[in-house]
Amino acid sequence: MDINQKYTPQSWPDHPETATLEGKNKFVGFWLLLAAETVTFASLFATYLALKDKGPSGMEFSAAGLFELPLVFAMTMILLTSSLTSVYAMHHMKNYNFKAMQAWLAITVLLGLTFLGLEIYEFNHYVHIGFGYTNSAFSSAFFTLVGTHGAHVLFGLSWFIALMLRNAKRGLNMYNAPKFYLASLYWHFIDVVWVFIFTVVYLMGVIG
Amino acid sequence: MSSIAQKKGFGATIWDFMTTVDHKKIAILYLMSGGFFFLVGGIEAMLIRIQLVKAGNDFLSAGTFNEVITMHGTTMIFLASMPILLAFMNAVMPLQIGARDVAFPFLNSLGFWLFFFGGIFLNLSWFMGGAPDAGWTNYASLALASEGHGIDFYTLGLTISGFGTLIAGINFLVTIINMRAPGMTYMRMPLFTWTTFVASALILLAFPPLTVGLFFMVFDRLFGASFFAVEMGGNTIIWEHLFWIFGHPEVYILILPAFGIFSEIFAIFSRKRLFGYTALVFATILIGFYGFMVWAHHMFTVGLGPTANAVFALATMIIAVPTGIKIFNWLLTIWGGNISFSVPMIYAVAFIPTFVAGGVTGVMQAIAPLDYQLHDSYFIVAHFHYVIVGGVVLAILAGTHLYWPKMFGTMLSEKLGKWTFWFFFLGFHLTFFIQHFLGLMGMPRRVYTFGADQGWDLFNAISSSGAILMATGVIILLVNVVMTIVKNERIGNDPWGDGRTLEWAIPSPPPFYNFAQTPLVRGLDTYWIEKMDGNKKGMIFAEPLGDIHMPNGSIIPFVISLGMFIASFGALYFMDGKPWALAVLIGGLTLMFASMLVRSLKDDLGFHITKAELLEDAKGGNTDGH
């Protein structure tokens, strides 16, 4: 792999993320990491379901009374859209169009930051009305599940930003193409987890 | 490696090992630190047996005894058995599949240093206010009530080392999926590679639940969460589930590579192809699959209800079937073979009856109603020592003798090896066989003493005397190691004379790039096939001699692990309200993330060994590379 090799959209491979052995290794390894992440979140979900609405006797909070869908729905739409924009970014990556890729990634990052801001607002609201981390088993399980997802969003955003800044001047090559691809794969995974959080925590929570 | 390497200064050698990404050197690191922790855990075992040698003994206080049993179990499982098996996987598996290195050499190093710092962190508890004392299973109801920081050392230490193990698992999986030499199809992979593969898959899926459970425990104890605090709506059984969803596959993470080592030994020293290779492979996969479906058999007495108990009892009995298939395959491999009773083979032959005994008591416990009688008694202690020591530790000792020449280029003494075997093997049965009966007589596990009127004196004294024999065996092994290193008699590619797989076709120890030319694999037992065809080179090649791409060494894995290590102290003292604790926590995490960022942003393209250098090497020049 020669990092200085210049490509044209014609000579750029169809799947640059798996065109080198390093890329292939990263590709398989990252999917395996996502399997481990899936088990991690499965454990968190199971714990949340076991501890939902559980607290000290006389606890005033319950999922049905606490969660409000409009804000969470907006967050869901924003995150889903960011997944779509990252797909566009990867489309341009595969077409060797670096500028378009960077632009779509920037949009993805902005959407992700908006999501994160709304989540911080939401958490702040809960803490404000007394539903803090140490309030009950329910609050511990809720904040740990949703907060772990939020930490993943933060990590994904940092990853995107680091990659965009690092490669801003030199453009795409066979060394960084797999990195962009994996960051976007990670972003999709975060999105899928959120779909489950929206369903299991918020929708099922509001239903009661 | 070569004479040039040995002339390096001491500091340079240390630096070399701190920055190495070579799987063979990382294997040596794993073996040395795993061996060290094995001795620590062994000393703890001796303390337990000294305390229990007679009724009403006051050698250890009750509290210290709790710390010693906790650290004995935790150390032996997480810091001794697994790392030593990871040492063999690192040393041998890439060679067996004809690869020049693992898929992620950098992560390989990171995995080691995380394990190492996690182990050191856990053991520092002895010197910093007391070790964990809630048993290696660390059940929440006990652990939340434990005073001091022992439990926090346990949770944070195992979190760090658990990340290391997870990374190692992913690395081995990708290595086996992507890095096999041409012709090395899945069904031509040596059994040790297969068991590494399945054990790595188990690591991948089993360690996350443990990490989640450990995080819950950290949050509960240090940051005021209440996952397990019943008065706050928490549920202590969640810990038990998460722990055993990890804990039972963990048993197979340990025993499958042990099975792999024995499979290699049976074939080599019977000078026969493994009987039923395909059945062995599928039994391995089946064990890995069922391994995730039996965790609640550790919790029969919790009260999950008769339906849950029946389902898990049945699943547990089913898992004995593929294990039985393996036993018969090994027996039929020996059958009619041209057997040579070298030290590894003696261990392998002794392993079969020992492990079968452990398996049979396991099936007894699978019968849920009987388990109500056996639960938390010395019968359980006897059972799991029969499978872990009789399976895993015998494999580790056998593997040490088998692979020592490949890792270091010298042979351990056969004579001393046999002494070690007999002391250890007889001592083991003397120690643990009688514990079955202690259990049936009612002696509970984890008690620090017993009364003279309970009738357990004699059997406990016999058990303790067996422990002395085991310790003698280990000491002889250490003497053997030192003598072998001092004598330094170099050996050739295939010191056992009957090697069947690719690792025996290359020099001992191999050059740092393993294979100057990638081999072409023509069937199971590649090297054996070439030997039978009269191929003096031991393999045929899939490529002409050319430049080889190799990864650069790096200190970053060490620094990342150090960052986590420092951050853990911050988290640990956060609860005490120490003003500097938060700063240490943030400082450690900053160091960790900053070094990860450096790794991500700084290009690391590796380097090339040129064809000229390879030719020079073949003539006996510098094989150390740098």
Structure tokens at A61: 């909070």
CB contact under 8 A, B600 and A179: yes
Q: Is residue B574 part of a domain?
A: no
- Angle at CA B215, nearest 5°, toward B213 and B217? 70
CB contact under 8 A, B208 and A36: yes
Helix, strand and coil content of chain B, in percent to the nearest 5, comes to 70, 0, 25
Q: Is residue B187 part of a domain?
A: yes
* Residue B72 identity (one-letter amino acid): H
Quickly state the pLDDT bin for A62 (edges 50, 70, 90): very high
- Rounded CA-CA distance B272/B542 in Å is 27
Contact indicator for B136, B77 with CB cutoff of 8 Å: yes
Q: Is residue B580 part of a domain?
A: no
Give which of B518, A26, B311 is closest to B526, Cα–Cα: B518
Contact indicator for B502, B525 with CB cutoff of 8 Å: no
Residue A168 sits at the chain B interface (C-beta within 8 Å): no
In order of start, what are the domains of chain A with their CATH numbers? 17-51+67-206 (1.20.120.80)
Q: Is residue B609 part of a domain?
A: yes
Give me the mean pLDDT over the A129-147 stretch.
96
Contact indicator for B618, B516 with CB cutoff of 8 Å: yes
What is the reported pTM? 0.95
Q: Across the 626 residues of chain B, what is the mean pLDDT of every consecutive 10-residue run?
A: 57 93 96 97 97 95 96 97 97 96 96 97 94 96 92 96 96 97 97 98 97 96 94 96 97 97 97 96 96 95 94 95 96 96 97 96 95 96 97 98 96 97 98 97 95 95 97 97 96 94 95 94 95 92 93 95 95 85 94 93 89 84 45
- Rounded CA-CA distance B469/B423 in Å is 5
Span between the terminal Cα atoms of chain A, in Å: 56
Span between the terminal Cα atoms of chain B, in Å: 12
CB contact under 8 A, B233 and A136: yes
Contact indicator for A29, B170 with CB cutoff of 8 Å: yes
Give the position of tokens 């309970």: B454
Domain containing residue B108: 10-554+604-620
For residue B204, list chain A residues with Cβ-Cβ distance below 8 A.
32, 35-36
Chain B: residue nearest A168 by CA? B601
Give me the mean pLDDT over the A199-208 stretch.
92
Domain count, chain B: 1
User: Best of A41, A62, A134 to disrupt the B interface by mutation (most B CBs within 10 Å)?
Assistant: A134
Which residues, other chains included, contact B182 with Cβ-Cβ below 8 Å and sequence gap of 6+? B518, B520, B521, B542
Chain A: residue nearest B238 by CA? A47
For residue B174, list chain A residues with Cβ-Cβ distance below 8 A.
25, 28-29, 32
Contact indicator for B480, B416 with CB cutoff of 8 Å: yes
- Rounded CA-CA distance A180/B457 in Å is 67
CB contact under 8 A, B234 and A50: no
- Residue A13 has a pLDDT of 92
Structure tokens at B570: 């911050």
3-state secondary structure B214-279: HHHHHHHHHCCCCCCCHHHCCCCHHHHHHHHHHHHHHHHHHHHHHHHHHHHHHHHHHCCCCCCHHH
Rounded to an integer, what is the distance from CA A56 to the centroid of its chain? 33
For residue B605, list chain A residues with Cβ-Cβ distance below 8 A.
1, 3, 175
Chain B: residue nearest A29 by CA? B174
- Residue B491 has a pLDDT of 94
What b/e sequence results for B106-139 when a residue is b if at least 16 CB atoms lie within 10 Å of its CB, and e otherwise? bbbbbbbbbbbbbbbbbbbbeeeebbbbbbbbbe
Q: Is residue B432 part of a domain?
A: yes
Residue B486 sits at the chain A interface (C-beta within 8 Å): no
Residue A133 sits at the chain B interface (C-beta within 8 Å): yes
Burial classification of residue B563, based on how many CB atoms lie within 10 Å of its CB (0-12 exposed, 13-18 middle, 19 or more buried): buried
Q: Is residue B245 part of a domain?
A: yes
Total Cβ atoms within 10 A of residue B449: 15
Residue A137 sits at the chain B interface (C-beta within 8 Å): yes
- Residue B6 has a pLDDT of 52
Residue A80 sits at the chain B interface (C-beta within 8 Å): no
Total Cβ atoms within 10 A of residue A60: 12
Structure tokens at A179: 């990195």
- Residue B577 has a pLDDT of 80
Give pLDDT tens digits for A103-117. 999 999 999 999 999
* Residue A196 identity (one-letter amino acid): F
Total Cβ atoms within 10 A of residue B493: 16
For residue A59, list chain B residues with Cβ-Cβ distance below 8 A.
233
A 93-132 residues inside an 8 A Cβ radius of B: none
Interface confidence (ipTM) of the complex? 0.95
For residue B209, list chain A residues with Cβ-Cβ distance below 8 A.
39-40, 43
| CATH value at residue B255 | 1.20.210.10
Q: Is residue B404 part of a domain?
A: yes
Give chain A's mean pLDDT.
Answer: 95
Number of helices followed by number of strands (H, E) in chain A? 7, 0
Q: Is residue B392 part of a domain?
A: yes
